Amino acid sequence: MRQYLGGLFSLIAVVAWAAIDVGCDNGSSESGTSAAGSAPIAGSAPIAGTAAVAVPTGTAGTGTGGTAATAATGGAPSGNTANSDALPVNAHEALLAPNGTGFVNDPSGVIGAWYAYGDGNDGANPGVCQTMGMHMTAECSTIAAPIPGMPFAPMGTSLAQMCTSGTVAKVIDFGMPAAADYSNIFGAGIGLDLNNPGLDGGTGVKMPLNASEKKIIGIAFDLDAVPAPGLRVEFPFGSSSTAAGVWKPSSSYASPVGVGHNVLLFSSVKQPGYVKTADMVPFDPTTLTSIQFHVPTVTTASAPYHFCIDKLSLIIQM
């Protein structure tokens, strides 16, 4: 099994600790909740389908992704969503085509693997939910597909459809005084490293990609369904202590993506409100490390999720 190092940090964690695997970001998806937030880390990289973790504090995963058994195998949806950015003049979409194990090696310079991540199982059970939050496994998020430890194979007629399913847990209290533990119960998602060659694309360190130098101004993709808790499109950048940028973060910290074709420009990416003002920094695409599609958690109830990202592309403006 391919391994990777990485980490996340939480701005509201009850305990301070050093993350051991992956780099992503969390935060509450509940409107009005500003105490949950975390920072993705530019430092280590998941592997050809490895698990990362994303939420207020974070930790890491060492597992690899697997084919989503329940994923749709049809073609990607079409049509623009109402909240998508407009494709600029002289810009075009360049497909990031994965191979059979979910690894991308693109002429643009993007090299890395698709991976799945979650608080309860980051590919090396138990996850941060159990180890750092000291919660029971039944209280943590679960990944049904891709299967940790197996290749994250693309699906669909495009052979570029990356699907995932599982259940994000209900956030419960932790610490003294007790507070909603978004740091260790942050949800689950899938992502792609942008500069992590490693051995077979995953055993190396997550490194930055200078998107501006390569004239990359955003991404585009097709989405078949929006999970009930929402979907937060995150762009980890900067150092290990930098909170990930989020595309158009709403009051619930989710991104307003919709079923169909979505166009996301870096000009609409910023750190969300759960990041403390003193810690906020402008989004810097010259230090971009990965792209993540995160299903966040809420304090009201757990929620099943199932979605597919199809034809993930770079938007390049010449």
The mean predicted confidence, pLDDT, of the chain is: 78
- Of the pLDDT bands very low, low, confident and very high (cuts 50, 70, 90), residue 209 is very high
* pLDDT for 16 beyond 50: no
User: Which range scores top for mean pLDDT: 85-89, 145-149, 249-253?
Assistant: 85-89
More reliable by pLDDT, 263 or 26: 263
* pLDDT for 202 beyond 80: no
pLDDT of residue 51: 36
Asked if 195 contacts 295 with a C-beta cutoff of 8 angstroms, the reply is: no
More reliable by pLDDT, 37 or 135: 135
Residues 99-117: tens digit of each pLDDT:
999 999 999 999 999 999 9
> Average pLDDT of 22-38?
38
How far is 15 from 208, CA to CA, in rounded Å? 28
pLDDT of residue 175: 86
pLDDT of residue 262: 98
From the list 11, 28, 3, 22, the residue with the least C-alpha distance to 297 is 28
Residues 281-309: tens digit of each pLDDT:
999 999 999 999 999 999 999 999 999 99
Q: Give 153's DSSP letter.
A: -
> Average pLDDT of 142-151?
84
- Of the pLDDT bands very low, low, confident and very high (cuts 50, 70, 90), residue 122 is low
Q: What is the reported pTM?
A: 0.78
- The 10 Å CB-count burial string (b at 16+, else e) for 243-282 is bbbbbbbbebbbbbbbebbbbbbbebbbbbbbbeeeeeee
pLDDT of residue 301: 97
C-alpha distances out from residue 215 to 6, 32, 66, 235, 308, Å: 27, 36, 32, 16, 27
Counting residues of the chain whose pLDDT is more than 70, the rounded percentage is 72
Residues 38-84: tens digit of each pLDDT:
322 222 333 333 333 333 333 233 333 333 333 343 343 445 578 99
Residues with Cβ within 8 Å of 178's Cβ and at least 6 positions away in sequence, in order, are none
Q: 138 in helix, strand or coil?
A: helix
Residues 211-255: tens digit of each pLDDT:
999 999 999 999 999 999 999 999 999 987 899 999 999 988 999
116: enclosing H helix or E strand: strand 111-118
The number of residues making up the chain comes to 318
Asked if 216 contacts 294 with a C-beta cutoff of 8 angstroms, the reply is: no
